[in-house]
Structure 1
Amino acid sequence: MPSRSRTCPGGPPATGHEARTPELVVHLAFFLLLGSSLARYVQRHGAQPEAPAVLALAGTLAVLYVIGRRATAGPGRTASGMARLGVLVAVWAVLVGLAPSFAWCAVPLFYTALRTLPPRAAYALVAFFTAFVVLAQLRLADRFEVDVVVGPPVVAVLATAVFTHMDRQATRQAALIHDLVRTRRELAATERREGTLAERQRLAMEIHDTLAQSLSSQRMLLQAADRLWDSDPGRAREHVRSAASIAERSLTEARRFVHDLAPADLAEGGGLEAALRGLASRETTDARTVTCVVDGTPAPGALPDRVQSALLRIAQGALANVREHSGATRAALTLTHLGDQVRLDIADNGRGLDTAALPERAEGVRGHGLPAIRARVGQLGGTLTIESAPGEGTVVSAAVPLHPATVEVPAP
């Protein structure tokens, strides 16, 4: 049987179990009607001279139906499909002319015409089928009967209306499926973009808090060594050794960063308190501009790795800001455990700043220091407080829950 899968513009064909079931019912109806008409003809007219021709035409009609269905199973109208339908209709018309009882095979052929031809041509062919059926039924009747004239057109209109409704429903369903698939793809693309932006933010913060700060410290130490090389070679060499130590530590951080491991200070053991003390010691020894101390009591239990890593990175970023921008000579790190929260305070005696002028986001802030700190605190569901005034130093306070949930924070 010639057939085509209905499609919507730009969408997938309306195929699947829902589309195949009506087709199977139509095919079954065609062969049942053909078989019953053939049996009726053989019982009543099997001895007539034209019986062999009727049997041959019935067999040809069945073969053409099967061949046409298999040959035109793909989507879209084709010239070959419409040609096969024309041959099928011609054979059926000759068969009905010889044996009017085969007229009711036209009902499944309505479906074939509506599936194969453009709407106007299909409706014209359905009208032809209907007229032929009426004439055949009048030939079989002994006298004129109204139901013979009215019945076939009613059946044709009903079959056409049902098919048209189902076809429109299938087209709408195909369009809906297409829209859902497109929306799903767009959502997946959006999630990939958001994941990429989040990863860029993480990389920017990690690079700023590790490699960038280390390079800044090395530059300062090497500049100091260059100034002292002639007047005080001993101190100059000490600065060079300190720069080499920072470079070695930066290499370790870079390797751990590549493998997405914990910061090197935490990996050495001792917990967050020991890592903060090591950070303060290096700031005091290496930079030689800020004396850094750590205050706090050991945690009653081990802090989650995420919290420890984030707080250490926050301390690194805050101390980098103190060293590079505040002009401070002293900084203090204080770690406080408050039940279900832990708070890290970084205080300095620098020139201070106007907190009212601080942007909420990164606009106007050089580098990633403060925005990165704000983002890290936000990702842990914590709060960041900055207390400062011009000439009075600055206190940066980050409080985070001990068991943070993942929170999406826009990239700074």
Structure 2
Amino acid sequence: MPPPRATPGAAARADEAAGADERRLTALLTLAFLALLAGALLRYVLRHGDSGRLPWVVALSVVLAGTQLVRGGSARARRGRLGVVAVCWAVVVLLAPSFAWCAIPLVHTALRVLPVRAALAAITVLTALVVVAELRLADGFDPNLVLVPPVVAALATGVFLHLSRESARRGVLIDDLVRTRRELAATERREGTLAERQRLSGEIHDTLAQGLSSQRMLLQAAERQWDRDPEAARAHVRTAAGIAAEGLAEARRLVHDLGPAGLAGGT
């Protein structure tokens, strides 16, 4: 059974599906960030509604939400937006530590947008700010507040990098598979062409070549008997003519079989 063909349409559909998955993940991260941002802002308003920091917290929250909602652009533009979001988030965390957990979507965004080393550096800074913010919110020192954020960040980063490498390896394997299928398809076409040539060669040998050989022998016999036995010579000629007619019909059949299917009705 021949392997399935890797068609350009299938590759385009795969690229489209990958793009759709990327858009869904981006939308999910955006919604998660906005939900955490809204929850932190609501908490701050309810608990510190009379604080002089409230206008700054609200303004920074609006900037964060607006920047996060901007989509598209080049890789440099996405990195620039991430930088704006990270700086605004750091400032608002210093003003209101309850915004610390908005860093969770930022960690994933950094891993997707930045090079690995830059992403790791950014995640380290984000995690440190989360630890500081949580310690400021706590009544006293809690070792869990120091240990849990780095562990969670390390776990999320490790899982993301592992999945990214697995995805890259799968991409390489898929490319190899597509290339192999194309090579197999080309080999099958070459083998099919050779098989067809061999079939035609056999048919030509079995029909046309043998017919021509028979005609030659009959005409030679007719030439030898023409003066001595004209009737026998004419019989040989008639037989040769019949063989020639059969050979002509066979030649036309071969040409018809080799022609395009769409021309079959017009020949």
TM-score using structure 1 length: 0.52
> Which has more helix, going by share of residues?
2
Kept in 2, the 8 Å contact 1:218–1:243? The answer is yes
1:157 aligns with 2:117: no
Contact map agreement 2:78 2:113 (CA 8 A) in 1: yes
Larger Rg: 1
- Give the AA of the match of 1:185: R
Partner of 1:6: none
Per-residue CA deviations over 1:339-383 (Å, capped at 9, x if unaligned) read xxxxxxxxxxxxxxxxxxxxxxxxxxxxxxxxxxxxxxxxxxxxx
Q: Which amino acid aligns with 2:196?
A: E
Q: Quote the offset at 1:64 in angstroms.
A: 1.7
Identity rate, percent? 59
> For the residues of structure 2 that align with 1:207 and 1:165, how far apart are their CA atoms?
62
Cα distance, 1:153–1:14 mapped onto 2, change above 3 Å:
farther
Q: How does 1:161-310 map to 2 (within 5 A)?
A: 161-225=158-222, 237-259=234-256
Alignment correspondent of 1:54: 57
- 2:83 corresponds to 1:80: no
CA distance in 1, matches of 2:54, 2:249: 97
| Residues 1:34 and 2:37 are matched in the alignment | yes
Other structure's SS at 1:48 match: coil
- Hey, which of these two has a bigger chunk of strand by percent? 1
- Structure 2 contact 30–69 (Cα < 8 Å) conserved: no
- How big is each residue's C-alpha offset from its partner over 1:213-260, in whole Å with a ceiling of 9 and x where there is no partner? 222223333445556667776655544433322221112222334455
* CA deviation vs aligned residue, 1:375-403 (integer Å, no higher than 9, x gap): xxxxxxxxxxxxxxxxxxxxxxxxxxxxx
The one of 95, 111, 122 equivalent to 2:119 is: 122
Q: Which amino acid aligns with 2:133?
A: A
Partner of 1:15, secondary structure, is helix
1 CA distance for matches of 2:164 and 2:181? 25
SS in 2 for 1:71: coil
Counterpart of 1:49 in 2: which secondary structure?
A: coil
Aligned equivalents of 2:242, 2:66: Cα separation in 1: 89
* Number of the residue aligned with 2:69: 66
Contact 1:134/1:152, CA 8 A, preserved across alignment? yes
- The structure-2 alpha-carbon separation of the partners of 1:224 and 1:85, relative to structure 1 and needing over 3 Å to count, comes to farther
Cα distance in 1 for residues equivalent to 2:19 and 2:169? 15
Q: In 2, distance between residues paired with 1:185 and 1:223?
A: 55
Between the aligned partners of 1:187 and 1:149, the Cα distance in structure 2 is 58
**Candidates 103, 106, 111, aligned match of 2:108:** 111
Structure 2 letter corresponding to 1:71: G
Moved more, 23-32 or 119-128: 23-32
1:90 equivalent to 2:91? Answer: no
Tell me the amino acid that sits aligned with residue 126 of structure 2.
F
1:15 aligns with 2:12: no
Match of 1:134 among 131, 135, 141: 131
What is the Cα deviation at residue 43 of structure 1?
Answer: 1.0
Separation (CA, whole Å) in 2 of partners of 1:172 and 1:14: 18
Instruction: Describe the shift of the 1:93–1:231 C-alpha distance in structure 2 as closer, same or farther (beyond 3 A).
Output: farther
Contact 2:134 2:145 survives alignment (8 Å):
yes
Inter-partner Cα distance in structure 2 for 1:63 and 1:229: 107
Q: In 1, distance between residues paired with 2:151 and 2:202?
A: 76
Taking the TM superposition and a 5 Å limit, the aligned residue runs for 1:346-385 are none
- Structure 1 residues 175 and 164, CA gap change in structure 2 (3 angstroms): same
Amino acid in the other structure paired with 2:38: G
Give the TM-score of the pair, scaled to structure 2: 0.76
User: After the TM superposition, which residues 390-409 of structure 1 pair with which residues of structure 2 at under 5 Å, given as runs?
Assistant: none
- Structure 1 SS opposite 2:38: helix
Q: Deviations over 1:61-113 (max 9, x none)?
A: 1222232xx315xxxx8323322222222222222233221121111111111
Q: What is the CA–CA distance in structure 2 between the aligned matches of 1:168 and 1:19, rounded to whole Å?
A: 16
Q: Residue 30 of structure 2 contacts residue 68 of structure 2 at CA under 8 Å; is this kept in 1?
A: no
Q: Distance in 1 between matches of 2:39 and 2:171?
A: 37
SS of the aligned residue for 1:34 comes to helix
Change in Cα spacing, 1:232 to 1:250, as seen in structure 2 (3 Å) is same
Where in structure 2 are there 5+ consecutive unaligned residues? Answer: 1-13, 258-267
CA distance in 1, matches of 2:82, 2:155: 22
1:141 corresponds to which letter in structure 2? A
RMSD over aligned CA atoms reads 3.2
Number of residue pairs matched?
Answer: 244
Name the aligned partner's letter for residue 59 of structure 1. V
